[in-house]
Amino acid sequence: MSTTSLTAARLGLVACDTCGLLSRPAGPGAAGFCRRCGSKLHGRHPNSLQNTWALAVAAAVCFLPANALPVMVTNAFGSSTPDTILGGVVFLYTSGSWPLALIVLVASFMIPLGKLIALAWLLISIHRRTHGGERQRMRLHRAVRAVGPWSMLDVFVATFTVALVQLDPLMSVEPGLGVLFFASVVVLTMLAAESLDPRLLWDLDPADIKRA
């Protein structure tokens, strides 16, 4: 199966992102607006690469404090214990529940990190116009997009615990600054994955990419 088959871009056509209507661009360098629904037309998402890069970089920046700062501060009986994500993993592992430790490690550390790496790899492959493996990269992109919202589960658990465990003065849980950064990582990687136009993956013609 060839991935270099005819595309709308090759034919100089643009498809409406909203209603799917295939149109001829209004003029060179400017696709114009959809006749049917009025949406702005563009051959590829405008600034897709730049936006994805920016959001991915922002996510990477937030990833550091998300892991360095405590996500939860447990106040129990007069002593407060700050818990970071990795600290929690180590704690779970040393206290014997390695399956839980593995789940937390994968869900809260590996997946966000993996998403960042995947985004970077997709972006680099687009820039390098890598031949072959477009299908795999497509699947990866789909996986990154699919897994995105699920990472919010961590944030949900943290906020849930904070709201639930308020047994002052015996015990209380406060959110740490880390959870804010963790949420930022999740949201930013989601936005980055969304802003990456997957069509760029098979745009091997430099002319196509220039359009993006």
Contact between 113 and another protein (CB under 8 A)? Answer: no
Q: Which of 47, 125, 130, 159 binds another protein (CB under 8 A)?
A: 47
Which partner from the list Zn ion, another protein, none does 4 bind, CB cut-off 5 to 8 Å by kind?
Answer: none
C-beta of residue 70 within 8 angstroms of C-beta of residue 116: no
Contact between 62 and another protein (CB under 8 A)? Answer: yes
Spatial distance between the Cα atoms of 169 and 75, rounded to a whole number of angstroms: 9
Stretch that binds Zn ion, among 10-18, 105-113, 170-178, 194-202 (CB under 5 A): 10-18
Spatial distance between the Cα atoms of 202 and 1, rounded to a whole number of angstroms: 13
Contact between 190 and another protein (CB under 8 A)? Answer: no
Judge if the upstream peptide bond of residue 169 is cis by omega within 30 degrees of 0: yes
Spatial distance between the Cα atoms of 209 and 212, rounded to a whole number of angstroms: 5
Q: Which of 67, 84, 151, 184 binds another protein (CB under 8 A)?
A: 184
Residue 81 pairs in a beta bridge with 74
Angle between helices 152-164 and 177-195 (to 10 degrees): 150
Nearer to another protein, 27 or 206 (CB): 27
Spatial distance between the Cα atoms of 34 and 32, rounded to a whole number of angstroms: 7
C-beta of residue 177 within 8 angstroms of C-beta of residue 82: no
Contact between 171 and another protein (CB under 8 A)? Answer: yes
Contact between 18 and Zn ion (CB under 5 A)? Answer: yes
**How many residues lie near another protein (CB under 8 A)?**
53
Q: Which of 19, 22, 103, 146 binds another protein (CB under 8 A)?
A: 22
Question: What separation in angstroms does the CA of 209 have from each of 49, 97, 128?
Answer: 10, 49, 11
- DSSP, collapsed to helix, strand or coil, labels residue 173 as strand
Positions in the binding site for Zn ion (CB under 5 A): 16, 18-19, 21, 34, 36-37, 39
Binding site for another protein (CB under 8 A): 5-6, 11-14, 21-27, 29-36, 40-41, 46-47, 50-51, 54-55, 57-59, 61-62, 64-65, 69, 74-79, 81, 95, 97, 169-171, 177, 181, 184, 188
